[in-house]
Amino acid sequence: MSRFAQITDFKVEPFKIPLNPVQSADLQAIIDEVEDYYIPRLFGKDLADLFILDWDALPVGAIDPRFVFIYNPFTYQDGSFFLQSEGIKKMIQGIVYYKYLRDRFTRVATTGGKKTQSANASNVSGTHHDINRRYNSSIETFQVLQTYMSCIDSGLYPEYDGIHERFNHIF
């Protein structure tokens, strides 16, 4: 069950994905997979469990302010130390966008991997498409959130125990 990103979020730029009904089910599965994988890695299991419990609690909107701050975009600066987060929703959207489109450049058949082909268009590789940039931007937000929780305001997030994620290098 997706909490932070919905299929409708992928109907507008910068994460627009044209979908038919079959593809919508595929996209929903990827949204669920990304949220289930990245949220515990972002926070660590204990803090992720608290975040999700708080998010799912009623009444809607009565979320702990420490989670509201992390969920929303923010900018933090202390002298020359600068952090800028696009927020959890946009982070999830960028990772979903990457994972969904990455798998659409090739199809697996009984004779091996096949490049999709169209009579009126030509394919671009992942290095010529912006999916890597969007993934890396999401991982940058992931790292900013972790830096904030572990270094800047660690007293507010004592349960933090996140796992580091790496950028996707295309070379």
Q: What pLDDT, on the 0 to 100 scale, is given for residue 169? A: 72
pLDDT digits (tens, 9 = 90+) for 132-154: 899 999 999 999 999 999 999 99
Does the predicted model carry a pTM greater than 0.85? no
DSSP 7: G
Q: What pLDDT, on the 0 to 100 scale, is given for residue 126? A: 45
How many of the other CB atoms lie within 10 Å of CB of 77?
A: 9
Residue found under tokens 């959130």:
145
Q: How far apart are CA 117 and CA 123, in angstroms?
A: 7
pLDDT digits (tens, 9 = 90+) for 26-81: 899 999 999 999 999 999 999 999 999 998 886 766 789 999 999 999 999 999 99
**pLDDT of 14 over the 80 cut:** yes
Domain boundaries of the chain, sorted by first residue: 7-152
Q: What pLDDT, on the 0 to 100 scale, is given for residue 114? A: 53
**pLDDT of 113 over the 50 cut:** no
